[in-house]
């Protein structure tokens, strides 16, 4: 069969101007495709055009919520030509029945154990309506269902087919080493999608793949430090200790980035994991702090991933010290925050930026978007707080899609735009770049930090110029 796998994009993408990372889902599905098939990849996000006249037998499209409208439009055009279309991704996980209206088949869950069956059934013209991998209920799915109840074991996976995309256009390669998240944050559906138990790829397979990568890569794991506070699972910590020792031996050494929890500093194994990760080339982490207040921590549920015993025990000074410790290891910190919890006010935007300035971290300050599949989304829907006319392409990129008890959508939009413009002033960019190389003197680190921030400066200015204020939706 001739197969095309598509990563869609919207007209407004804040990260596109900042840093280009090779998409993982496309290259992984391509790697799982037997050699007997001919496969091509289309990364619309990075500028590829969809050829609707292509002679293909099967089209697969990954669907994120902000891109659902674009993905459905692509799918519908192929369906009209009589092509088989399979949709998967996090949005499909939340709305499989909706997705089925735009697809021949819908894939719910991880692809390793589903894709081979999808290809086999497509070749025989026997595609089922739904393909499900994981311990999810299927009784609400109307149609034929192929269900594998266990999540995949992440062993003996082929290397990603990065050769199918022009690697020179990407600033960073991508890879994953684990899946799963035990945190159950109320605004995030990741725990439900991948499960609370962390599953690991074999260390030798990860190291062999990293050895094929370019100078920089991004690890898409939920936390590259693991969860060292889980003292009853020492083998969990041993995985990261052994992995980073092996990666540190690779030559040439790559610089890499990923998401990581600040609390790893507070645990014996965690501190050693941090040090070894830095030695292996970790140069920056995305840290999801979510809120600078105990009340925001409580509503978001983020206190669990910061490993406080309760939201009331949240200590902003301790958080600052953890950031300083991570920075002292030569690891730049990108702080991700959500403003718009019920107790937040317009001043919360300003205080969050002040916190980022004080800690010298890159600010990623976003107004809350209740993502489908999350507890917050379900609660706000029941409470009637989701703005009825919000289309899926409003779920990201600066739009406001819910009603706050004290702030208007216009207030949230304007204050968010203001702090993000200020957060990437040239003075702040230079200051943070100097901080990045204070403990790791490296031209590559300085270049990466400076041009990433310069891209973000451009992206956020474009964003708030292009999207309308809420009163104009």
pLDDT by residue (tens digit) across 220-249? 999 999 887 765 566 788 999 999 999 999
Domain ranges of the chain: 2-148, 171-472
- Is residue 173 within 8 Å of residue 217, measured between CB atoms? yes
Give the mean pLDDT of 384-406: 92
What's the pLDDT score for residue 11? 60
| pLDDT at position 467 | 87
Query: What distance in Å separates the CA atoms of residue 266 and residue 318, rounded to the nearest whole number?
Result: 10
- Split at pLDDT 50, 70, 90, the class of 17 is very low
- pLDDT (mean) for 198-209: 96
pLDDT digits (tens, 9 = 90+) for 356-384: 999 999 999 999 999 998 999 999 999 99
Pairing relationship of beta strands 130-133 and 145-148 according to DSSP bridges: parallel
Percent of the chain at pLDDT > 90 equals 81
Q: What are phi and psi of 346, to 5 degrees?
A: -55, -35
pLDDT of residue 281: 96
pLDDT band of residue 267 (cuts 50, 70, 90) is confident
The Cα diameter of the chain in Å comes to: 61
Residue 157's pLDDT is what?
Answer: 96
Residue 172: DSSP 8-state: B
For the record, the structure tokens of 209 come out as: 């793949």
d(CA 53, CA 56): 9
pLDDT at 15 over 60: no
Burial grade of 119 (CB within 10 A; 0-12, 13-18, 19 or more)? buried
CATH number of the domain located at residue range(s) 171-472 in this protein? 3.80.30.20
CA-based nearest residue to 72, from 131, 130, 8: 8
Q: What is the pLDDT of residue 12?
A: 53
3-state class of 399 per DSSP? coil
| Cβ atoms of 300 and 348 closer than 8 Å | no
pLDDT of residue 304: 85
Closest CA to 290 of 335, 233, 252, 259: 335
Q: How many helices (H) and strands (E) does the chain have?
A: 16, 15
Topology of the domain comprising 2-148: Rossmann fold (3.40.50)
Contact 439, 327 (CB under 8 A): yes
Same topology, domains 2-148 and 171-472? Answer is: no
Q: What is this structure's pTM?
A: 0.92
Res. 14 pLDDT band, cuts 50 70 90: very low
Backbone phi, psi, residue 393, to 5°: -75, 0
């Amino acid at each position: 069969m001739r197969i095309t796998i598509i990563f869609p994009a919207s007209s407004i993408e804040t990260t596109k101007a900042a840093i280009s990372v090779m998409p993982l889902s496309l290259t992984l599905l391509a790697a799982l495709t037997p050699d007997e098939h001919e496969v091509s990849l289309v990364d619309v996000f990075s500028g590829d055009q969809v050829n609707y006249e292509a002679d293909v037998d099967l089209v697969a499209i990954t669907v994120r919520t902000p891109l659902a409208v674009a993905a459905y439009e692509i799918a519908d055009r192929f369906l009209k030509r009589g092509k088989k279309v399979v949709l998967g991704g996090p949005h499909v996980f939340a709305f499989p029945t909706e997705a089925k209206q735009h697809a021949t088949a819908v894939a719910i869950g991880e692809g390793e154990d589903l894709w081979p069956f999808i290809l086999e059934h497509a070749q025989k013209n026997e595609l089922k309506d739904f393909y499900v991998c994981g311990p999810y209920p299927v009784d609400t799915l109307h149609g034929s269902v192929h269900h594998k109840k266990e999540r995949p074991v992440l062993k003996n996976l082929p290397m990603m087919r990065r050769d199918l995309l022009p690697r020179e256009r990407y600033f960073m390669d991508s890879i994953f080493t684990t899946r799963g998240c035990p945190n159950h944050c109320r605004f995030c559906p990741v725990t439900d999608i991948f499960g609370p138990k962390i599953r690991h790829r074999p260390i030798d397979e990860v190291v062999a793949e990293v050895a094929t990568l370019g100078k920089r890569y991004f690890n898409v794991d939920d936390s590259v430090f693991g969860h060292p506070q889980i003292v009853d699972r020492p083998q969990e910590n041993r995985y990261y200790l052994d992995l980073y020792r092996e990666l540190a031996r690779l030559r040439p050494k790559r610089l890499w980035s990923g998401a990581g929890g600040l609390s790893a500093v507070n645990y014996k194994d965690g501190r050693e994991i941090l040090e070894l990760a830095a030695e292996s080339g970790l140069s920056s982490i995305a840290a999801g702090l979510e809120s600078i207040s105990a009340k925001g921590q409580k509503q978001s549920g983020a206190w669990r991933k910061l490993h406080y015993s309760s939201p009331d025990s949240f200590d902003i000074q301790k958080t600052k010290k953890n950031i300083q410790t991570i920075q002292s290891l030569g690891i730049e910190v990108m702080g991700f925050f959500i403003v718009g919890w019920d107790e937040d006010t317009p001043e919360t935007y300003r205080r969050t930026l002040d916190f980022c300035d004080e800690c010298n971290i890159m600010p990623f300050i976003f107004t809350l978007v209740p993502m489908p599949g999350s507890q917050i989304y379900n609660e706000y829907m029941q409470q009637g707080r989701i703005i009825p006319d919000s289309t899926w392409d409003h779920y990201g990129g600066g739009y406001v899609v819910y009603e706050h008890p004290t702030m208007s959508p216009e207030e949230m939009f304007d204050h968010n735009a203001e702090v993000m413009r200020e957060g990437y002033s040239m003075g702040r960019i230079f200051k943070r770049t100097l901080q990045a190389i204070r403990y790791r003197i490296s031209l590559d680190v300085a270049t990466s930090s400076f041009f990433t921030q310069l891209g973000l400066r451009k992206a956020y200015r474009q964003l708030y110029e292009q999207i309308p204020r809420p009163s104009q939706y």
